[in-house]
Chain A
């Protein structure tokens, strides 16, 4: 499944909640809780993306043309957002990751979490994911 299909799947998943923001956030929190934990030994400073408030750790690997991401956060809502990003971008080629516009976030009504004033480290995390993909681009 490519990035576009995964985004579509997430949009459909969130459409079930309609205007019920509580349901939507409960789902986001569940996604956060189900994100595989990063081993604490991997939560090192070089993997830390410092937001003003919540912290995000990102680990990336490059295997046979595909990026694999694992990530964690100390805030559960941020972690839910992190889980969505990992789900969409993990397993994809660097070329696709660099191009990804991640517009599904707007369509599921969670765009406020990506605004630059949010102090949650998410925007920095996406930038970091893309930077790491750039470093594996085929020239």
Chain B
């Protein structure tokens, strides 16, 4: 991993002051900041390569198409996928999950069928399935959490029935940082021949993800949490689903031939990418992947783990603080509360010291109900965060607690 100052120097936004203090950005779980190379790639694309892609005979269109498809290759290779057509560009994780949910509801999911998800899912991996369940008499079965807020794998295994058609699971809990044991999840699902959708919104930014090895049916994530642009994400499909997933949306660019009676669709990714895609977004996403490669995913995970462990240690030194899911296997996310104080107050005062944290339910209201709280304070790390920032945060948190009295 390059030294931390070299990394920080690549992020223009980090040099700004917030409320008179150097910005300490600990809200990476919501969105990560963008390195210069991502900003430049997007700007450069619009400056010198912008044209609509595919089928254009003119040079600029060919250049844009080349960049777009090269981006798909870069991203596929990052996730160790040999066949880059298995990467579909979407507007983000939420869009990807909806595409799968709508597609599967057309002919795969039947009334009375069951889907397994977990107690700590993000709303975006609950609502598309809930909508299907409500409209079709489907059932959502929820994997409960153990007292340490990790998944109860025994209960998971017992949730399967003949009606189980899908497991849709967060790879990393956005609120708790807990990492699911995908090997174990997948092995049990395989025994029942049930496909698995892995929500990688909070794992892809933090760890090496080998989709060939994980061998899940669907994988989704968002570029903006991975140092890339907003409005861009991906849907990875297994070979089988790439061919078979019914369309949620359709339109221009997806076809071989069209008549008013009948349409023959294109093969591969194009079938699932109607309309003009977010070309600049794809280019920016690939630049973000390049940035992550220069850091190295293993080194990044270690760096963030060190920060998490230090933060957890400092938090536990404060008597009034309780930390959720203190398990060791976490991905750069810590949720905590200060006894007797609302997360909103803690977050508001930390902001006065230039420290950006997230407070509230983190789009995981069922989990909040399980924990018996209105919300939590969440800190989440990225490549550019430092131990000094963690110490500054811990120091100011103590001050904040004193102020709140």
A residues contacting B by CB (< 8 A) are 21-22, 25-26, 29, 33, 52-55, 74-78, 119-120
Contacts and interface: CB of A to CB of B under 8 A. Distances in A.
Contact of A74 (B359, B374, B404): B374
Given A53-B343, A53-B375, 6 more contacts: A21-B19, A21-B352, A74-B342, A75-B345, A76-B404, A78-B345
Interface in B332-351: 341-345, 348-349
Contacts of A21: 19, 352
Contacts of B360: 52-53, 119
B342 A76 contact: yes
Contact of B405 (A29, A54, A55, A74): A29
B207 to A, nearest CB: 30
Given A21-B352, A53-B359, A26 B403 contact: yes
Interface string B365-405: 00000000011000000000000000000000000000111
A74 B344 CA distance: 9
Contact of A25 (B341, B343, B349, B359): B349
9 contacts: A25-B349, A26-B403, A53-B342, A53-B344, A75-B342, A75-B344, A76-B342, A76-B404, A119-B344
B363 to A, nearest CB: 11
Contacts, number: 42
A121 to B, nearest CB: 10
A131 to B, nearest CB: 24
A55 B345 CA distance: 12
Given A26-B403, A52-B360, A53-B375, A77 B352 contact: no
A33 B403 CA distance: 12
A128 to B, nearest CB: 19
A29 B404 contact: yes
Chain A CB within 10 Å, residue with most, of B343, B344, B360 = B344
A52 B342 CA distance: 13
A139 B37 CA distance: 63
Interface residues of B, number: 16
Interface string B8-37: 000000000001000000000000000000
Contact of A120 (B344, B349, B405): B344
Contacts of B359: 53
A29 B344 CA distance: 13
Interface of B: 19, 341-345, 348-349, 352, 359-360, 374-375, 403-405
A125 B378 CA distance: 27
A134 to B, nearest CB: 29
B267 to A, nearest CB: 44
B359 to A, nearest CB: 6
A54 B344 contact: yes
A22 B403 contact: yes
Nearest to A30: B405
B349 A77 contact: yes
The 4 A-B residue pairs whose C-beta atoms are closest, nearest first, are: A75-B342, A75-B344, A53-B344, A54-B344
A117 to B, nearest CB: 12
A25 to B, nearest CB: 6
Contacts of B404: 29, 76
B364 to A, nearest CB: 14
Chain A CB within 10 Å, residue with most, of B19, B341, B345, B404 = B345
B50 to A, nearest CB: 32
A78 B344 contact: yes
Contacts of A33: 405
Nearest to A80: B345
A25 B346 CA distance: 12
